Structure 1
């Protein structure tokens, strides 16, 4: 009886169904495989979702903010000094001066964007993370009207700068870094490390950044009065709006910004590209040092040796150009050239001038040595002319900054004191004139 029952069951299963005329055996097998595939896909989706969420959590909450020192920079600092971690701060234990070449770190510079990578999600741009804001690519595209040409406010070797108008009414400058052989990623790291948490009235503030997918952008405060190069060498007419007092204000403010980088930070920051086009001006002629894409972080009393000299021709110090030795003295030399440019209104290198005047430094030194310092003043500076002592002091600062012996150049803090020195002998004379007038008026 049981045998006949089994044969009947087998017969029923082997019978053809109404689904495309397939047997019930085959229908059951197909359904089983289909359910198994669905279960496998669901399992894979859940696993991938968990991994993705773990990565985002690790990036967003591991330190609470973007690292001040990335992998590349921390490796360089380790070769220069030994440190111990103590309450999330770096405490120096032992000084070691070691030559570090740029070739040794080029692999890390061109490697993956490990420490700075962020998950590309729609809500990243709305969050405030640590010192700055993480902008989404969509936010910046909207604010710059799709990165239109009409919003371009500056262009350089490493990117294009756009004006960005945000819905809340705020305005910013967005620097879209060009990815030339990994240069965008390298400059992104350098600028974030150098000035990400720095706040100084004479340094352009870095408000935030965008690292969606492979795009690298930096968002700065918007300075709406152009740069120093435009005001010195642009078509401003026969009389420059930059009076002597304004020019000294710009020089002193620039010196204060550089002094903060050199003497107010640890590790110190060497700008490496001090020039007139990197000095932005606001409506009150307050200067702000910008463009930290070539900056270098160095420990105290430490020099950096590079096999590839970076900077702008005419501003680069001789020892850096010839040996690759970089420290804050290199910035001091560049500042000296900048101060000459401010005083004379001439470019550091101008091939349109006679042979003896093409190089600003050589011409300037020759003029001062022959006691013709008054003749170096920009002819576009009209009354009031600088007082002879004020001019002499500024000329002396220039010469000290470009001393061929880098060890004899002053620190930026000393330069500030020299430029701000009060002319006490002149004030009593002014007061005596006023006192002599009073009896006559009465």
Structure 2
């Protein structure tokens, strides 16, 4: 019995000593990271057993085996005492603001299989001691400020299968043996990647040539099968479209467009510094525009590619990286010639950025109202082309995406123009993207006054018909060149809203007075009337009465507008007669028999 208690006491003592030094190591890490109790809940330095602390996992013997602290907005450095955790297998500190050097003591973590320090502000050299981590399989030091050469000792790691060192300030020659790692990335450094070395700087697999050939064969087979299926589907689709008596646009979004600029499914995750350099440190001179979601900066990548970087401003706190990336990837699936293609994105603990191709002719809003002297005016044929292209882009979002995508801010400023003046709808999905981190059920109203549908403004509930309303206002902008809200009209009339102004002129049969003067009467009046009719159908007060975008496309192509317009005119006449009858019944003049105060509904009881 005495022997039993002695053994039990010894076990307890060992457990206490074990917990004591592990707790000391983690408490030291907490202090060096400048972490608060809110960030690391339960990390109590006075409590020696760290196995109950948040983000810490232990094995059955109370050995700490995992510490995962991603995107928590730390501001300090790494403690050398972390090297005491000899049983640690996973250490993840990505997406924080950690500064300073990687301690040499990290080489003591001999059980480590996963070390992730990506997207911090680490400086200094990569410790050669990391070559001691014989069990290490994954090593990511991407997106830091590390300098010097890559230690030869990393070449001796027998278990390494994934090595990410991109976007640092590393120099010198890459140890040739590292190109045998299954997956590697050395891009965004000053390394010798191609000179004297027959290797690329990044790999998808790093596998052998026979394995690559096998994968290529599989890919070719799969792609070939998909193409055959798609061609068959398109033939059936076109055949059915002819039977219905109208032309529908055929498109395929599985492999993206065939121009090869940005292949489908190849979203790039940019480093913060890469976009910082491209935009000249987000200089105000680089600003292309500003809206409810943030500023857009013009940039030029290292290879000369012109880009537009949208820096989102609606993230109140750090985190949400996975949710953001999920939404970005969902939006990137929408590939259509009339939708702005997403190139990539960038996330840091406090920043979210989206990267798009630069649109040579900027936006419809710019072409209508901000062109410089000497620049050509957007002529009428171009305006018709823009109207139809934007309609097709929205039709795709509403009726061919699964799940459907609602834009929620359709306006001339968000319809961009490429080098051929083809309409490209931008900013689609951003409202949902920005709201993805919110926990409340009701989404806040997003959009631009004058373009917001009345039901969305009053209830906060959006649908594809709210986009139809915004599109109708955009058509009026194309015809008139005017803004959706213009307070200068107060001097002559009461119609501040462009929609009310156009409705009045349409009733008075004076539409020629509203056409953009910059066109110098170089337009077809019948086509102007057609576009205004479509716009008024799109901006009806009741969302149920607005046509879907597929019908809008057909009407712009000359099919079905006359019937729909006649039906709407009948409804409008009936509605106006009822309104005038009520006006006569409730005469609020001085001689009225009704007392205004008597029908006050909100007074005190």
From 289, 302, 311, the counterpart of 2:447:
311
From 487, 498, 519, the counterpart of 1:381:
519
Contact 2:86–2:111, Cα closer than 8 Å, also in 1: no
Q: Could you tell me how far apart the structure 1 residues matched to 2:345 and 2:417 are?
A: 22
Give the structure 1 partner of residue 537 of structure 2: 400
Give the structure 2 partner of residue 50 of structure 1: 113
**What does the per-residue CA deviation read over 1:344-381, in whole Å, with 9 as the maximum and x for residues that have no partner?**
11111111112423111111111111222222211211
Larger displacement relative to structure 2 (280-289 or 328-337):
280-289
From 317, 327, 330, the counterpart of 2:466:
330
Q: For structure 1, which runs of at least 5 residues remain unmatched after alignment?
A: 1-36, 61-117, 298-304, 424-442
Q: Give 3-state SS (helix, strand or coil) of 1:385's partner.
A: coil
Q: Could you tell me how far apart the structure 2 residues matched to 1:221 and 1:391 are?
A: 32
- Check 1:59–1:247 CA distance in 2 against 1; reply closer, same or farther (3 A cut): farther
Give the structure 1 partner of residue 350 of structure 2: 214
From 348, 356, 366, the counterpart of 2:494:
356
- Check 1:136–1:318 CA distance in 2 against 1; reply closer, same or farther (3 A cut): same
Larger displacement relative to structure 2 (240-249 or 329-338):
240-249
Per-residue deviation, 1:239? 9.7
Contact 1:175–1:218, Cα closer than 8 Å, also in 2: yes
Q: Could you tell me how far apart the structure 1 residues matched to 2:110 and 2:309 are?
A: 37
- Check 1:192–1:58 CA distance in 2 against 1; reply closer, same or farther (3 A cut): farther
1:143 and 2:187 equivalent? no
- Check 1:40–1:278 CA distance in 2 against 1; reply closer, same or farther (3 A cut): same
**What does the per-residue CA deviation read over 1:409-440, in whole Å, with 9 as the maximum and x for residues that have no partner?**
111111111112289xxxxxxxxxxxxxxxxx
1:291 and 2:354 equivalent? no
Q: Give 3-state SS (helix, strand or coil) of 1:268's partner.
A: coil
What does 1:29-428 correspond to in 2, within 5 Å? 40=84, 45=106, 46=109, 49-53=112-116, 122=168, 123=185, 130-178=265-313, 180-182=315-317, 188=324, 192-236=328-372, 241-292=377-428, 294-296=430-432, 306=442, 308-354=444-490, 355-388=493-526, 390-421=527-558
Per-residue deviation, 1:399? 1.2
Contact 1:348–1:360, Cα closer than 8 Å, also in 2: yes
Q: Could you tell me how far apart the structure 2 residues matched to 1:168 and 1:274 are?
A: 33
**What does the per-residue CA deviation read over 1:279-315, in whole Å, with 9 as the maximum and x for residues that have no partner?**
1112321111112364449xxxxxxx83522211110
Contact 1:243–1:382, Cα closer than 8 Å, also in 2: no
**What does the per-residue CA deviation read over 1:123-164, in whole Å, with 9 as the maximum and x for residues that have no partner?**
487669943111112222232233333333223343332222
Contact 2:315–2:350, Cα closer than 8 Å, also in 1: no
- TM normalised by structure 1 equals 0.64
Q: Could you tell me how far apart the structure 2 residues matched to 1:195 and 1:125 are?
A: 26
Larger displacement relative to structure 2 (179-188 or 351-360):
179-188
- Check 1:172–1:367 CA distance in 2 against 1; reply closer, same or farther (3 A cut): same
Q: Could you tell me how far apart the structure 2 residues matched to 1:399 and 1:184 are?
A: 43
Q: Give 3-state SS (helix, strand or coil) of 2:553's partner.
A: helix
- Check 1:404–1:47 CA distance in 2 against 1; reply closer, same or farther (3 A cut): farther
Q: Give 3-state SS (helix, strand or coil) of 2:359's partner.
A: coil
- Check 1:124–1:268 CA distance in 2 against 1; reply closer, same or farther (3 A cut): farther
RMSD of aligned residue pairs (Cα, Å): 3.7
Q: Could you tell me how far apart the structure 2 residues matched to 1:167 and 1:218 are?
A: 17
- Check 1:168–1:347 CA distance in 2 against 1; reply closer, same or farther (3 A cut): same
- Check 1:294–1:40 CA distance in 2 against 1; reply closer, same or farther (3 A cut): closer
Q: Could you tell me how far apart the structure 2 residues matched to 1:163 and 1:128 are?
A: 29
**What does the per-residue CA deviation read over 1:370-412, in whole Å, with 9 as the maximum and x for residues that have no partner?**
2222222112112432142x22221210111011121121111
- Check 1:235–1:357 CA distance in 2 against 1; reply closer, same or farther (3 A cut): farther
Per-residue deviation, 1:194? 4.8
More helix by share: 1
